[in-house]
Structure 1
Amino acid sequence: MRRVRWHTTLALSAMWAAGAVQAQTPSTGHWTDAAAAQAAPAPVATATSKSAPRVELELRARFGGTEAIALNHLAGPVEVTLQAEGAPPIATPALPARATVPAGGRVVVANLRDEAAGTRLSLLAVPGLPVARVRHVEYLYPLRDAPLQIAQGYGGGFSHADAENRHAVDFAVTPGTPVLAARDGVVMQVEADATARLDPRATVDPADDRVRGNFIRILHDDGTMALYAHLQQAGVVVAPGARALRGTIIGFSGNTGLSTAPHLHFVVQANRGMRLESLPFRMLGPDGPLRFGQVQTDPAPAAP
């Protein structure tokens, strides 16, 4: 899977104003939806989106200034950074300002002085808390009744060379195969509206959520997260906030997103301070423990 920085440039390129600005949150990307209407004449706040909003930047007028509030609509925590383009405005704390926002929560990231009117702001968001303490558990092979066929393993040169995907595994599998939760956790985020794969020859921003197609992100109790990507249309059978138990069906494999062949992209990640890193993991396969570091990848593995 190509680099998709959950570094969500929640690219809330927001002009100074009171109101809510919608922005993407699982991966970096610019959004194109308009912000909420303003109660009084003020610069327009705009943002862009390629799917449903996951995080909002709300600018709320207060005496002597404006509160910049991060609203998290995900069923898991995120870390955010508020920054300004050009010279930073007078703010408390000073920009760039960082904060963590709990699942379904809202946090005032900074208070800005009125003199900052006209400043362009951007909000960066990364899923998970930067305090994950990884527990070394054995993951379950995430496919039911499917033979083991690895299209790309750890460090695959095709698309597993970046920090977020270095320890990802692409399992080649027939579309419609049941996908199982490899570990207990809370469903943090789902996407199920992708209808087909993207043309791999097209120029696509790797930070665009669409590269993953339909996917499920599950938060584990140690703060790590598992991503199951490229599921089929309507191939998600769990809802955000639900608890997924190891071995239960959470979706069905497919070929959506930026993919050249049907496969399941599986990776375990942790937030290491406004950046995602993939983590090596142990997994029990159909015939015993798997060793992904020793797996030979195909010369032309499935793209993410």
Structure 2
Amino acid sequence: MPRLSALLATLLCASLLAVPAVQAAKLYRWTDRSGISHYGDRPPGAAPPSEVQVIPFRTEPGAIARLRVQQDGDRYLAWADNSLSGPIEVRLDFTHSNNIAGSPSLPAYATVAARGSAVVAVLSAQDPTRGGDFELSLRSTPGDPAARAQNVDYLLPLQQQQFRIDQGYGGHFSHTEPEHRYAVDFAADIGTPVLAARDGSVMQVESDFDKAGLNLEKFGDRANFVRILHDDGSMALYAHLKADGGVLVRTGQRVRAGQQIGLSGNTGFSTGPHLHFAVQINRGMKLESIPFRMSGPQGPLRLSGGTR
């Protein structure tokens, strides 16, 4: 039997506005009677021959996918566990490989159902007569890459008669990247009711962030938000919600168009109170915003132009 070892890598989150503060975690290492090294995120159930070594490392508590490596005879199964109430796509890579190959070959991709798990690859020795080791990384993106968005008329996502668009499609301040290009920033006082613009299911929420500023490194991927999954696989993002009590729905909850889901605020990378709204799809491990139609109290909205 080959001498294999697996290191559970710190997971990387590739989603917009989905990376909470880093916290400490523990990795456990021990050696069995055959001299094989094992790594896991919890100590072994039975006492191993060698002392269990505790290795502290840092991880993202809100990462949307968790890498789990399970020994299966003389091979290892690399699982991805989805923490979201909606589908995700994952990519598994070697960061280091010595005499170890994956089936399918890495990088390997998988779509994982809501709150589900999937084996992304099976890892085994290329030459069974000698030892080997490996390290892995897992990236994840919300959404099913096979989704096809329908042409739908969205409702105004704010409960207010008078509204102003501070930044529309292609805004030069922060709407230049594909995941933001077709986003719209609505001016809104803190505490303005935020409404679902379309029927769907709450896929992901962040409600624990309480800071705002123009430091892109500190705040660029952080804000309180609600992500709603639509029946066609597209996703609506409602971001910069109020710091305290700004999220009024829970993951897995079904919502109807016009239902209140939160309160507007000023969290994350922001010049002032507003609601950031975008419709996104996963186009192969990459979130992209897409154009959409929206109607307000006075009829169809013009969504292009404007800058904060």
What's the TM-score bracket when you normalise by the shorter of the two chains? 0.7 to 0.9
Q: Please say if 1:180 is aligned against 2:195.
A: yes
The question of whether the paired residues in 2 share the 8 Å contact of 1:126 and 1:276 is answered with yes
Q: Distance in 1 between matches of 2:239 and 2:69?
A: 34
Query: Which of the residues 128, 136, 152 maps onto 2:143?
Result: 128
- The equivalent position to 1:204 in structure 2, one of 194, 218, 234, is 218
Where does residue 244 of structure 1 map in the other structure? Answer: 255
Give 1:1-304 correspondences, 5 Å limit: 16-17=5-6, 24=13, 26-27=15-16, 33-38=24-29, 40=31, 41-42=37-38, 48-85=58-95, 89-114=100-125, 117-197=132-212, 199-201=213-215, 203-204=217-218, 206=220, 208=221, 210=222, 213-233=223-243, 234-293=245-304, 295=305, 297-298=306-307, 301=308
Secondary structure of residue in 2 paired with 1:265? strand
- C-alpha distance after superposition, 1:76-109 (max 9, x if no partner): 0000110112568311111000001000100000
Q: Secondary structure at the match of 1:231?
A: coil
How many residues of Structure 1 are paired with residues of Structure 2 in the alignment?
278
Deviation at 1:242? 0.4
Aligned to 1:12: none
Structure 1 contact 68–108 (Cα < 8 Å) conserved: yes
Task: In structure 1, list runs of 5 or more residues that go unmatched.
Answer: 1-14
Query: Aligned with 1:133: secondary structure?
Result: coil
TM-score (norm 1): 0.83
Q: Give the structure with higher Rg (CA).
A: 2
The separation in 2 between residues aligned to 1:283 and 1:200, in whole angstroms, is 29
Secondary structure of 1:70's aligned partner? strand
Do the aligned partners of residues 119 and 174 (structure 1) sit closer, same or farther apart at CA in structure 2, a change above 3 Å counting? same
- For residues 201 and 55 of structure 1, the distance between their equivalents in structure 2, rounded to whole angstroms, comes to 27
State the identity %: 46
Structure 1 letter corresponding to 2:80: A
Which stretch of structure 1 is more off in the superposition, 272-281 or 45-54? Answer: 45-54
Shift of 1:38: 4.5
Shift of the 252–205 alpha-carbon distance from structure 1 to 2, 3 Å rule, reads closer
SS of match in other structure, 1:90 = strand
Contact 1:230 1:253 in 2 (8 A): yes
In the alignment, structure 2 segments of 5+ residues that lack a partner are 32-36, 42-55
Give secondary structure in 1 for the equivalent of 2:197: coil
Query: Is the contact between residue 90 and residue 138 of structure 2 (CA under 8 Å) also seen in structure 1?
Result: yes
State the superposition RMSD in angstroms.
2.6
In the alignment, which residue of structure 2 is the partner of 1:8? Answer: none
User: Do 2:12 and 2:137's aligned partners in 1 also have CA atoms closer than 8 Å?
Assistant: no
Counterpart secondary structure, 1:139: strand
Structure number with the higher strand fraction is: 2
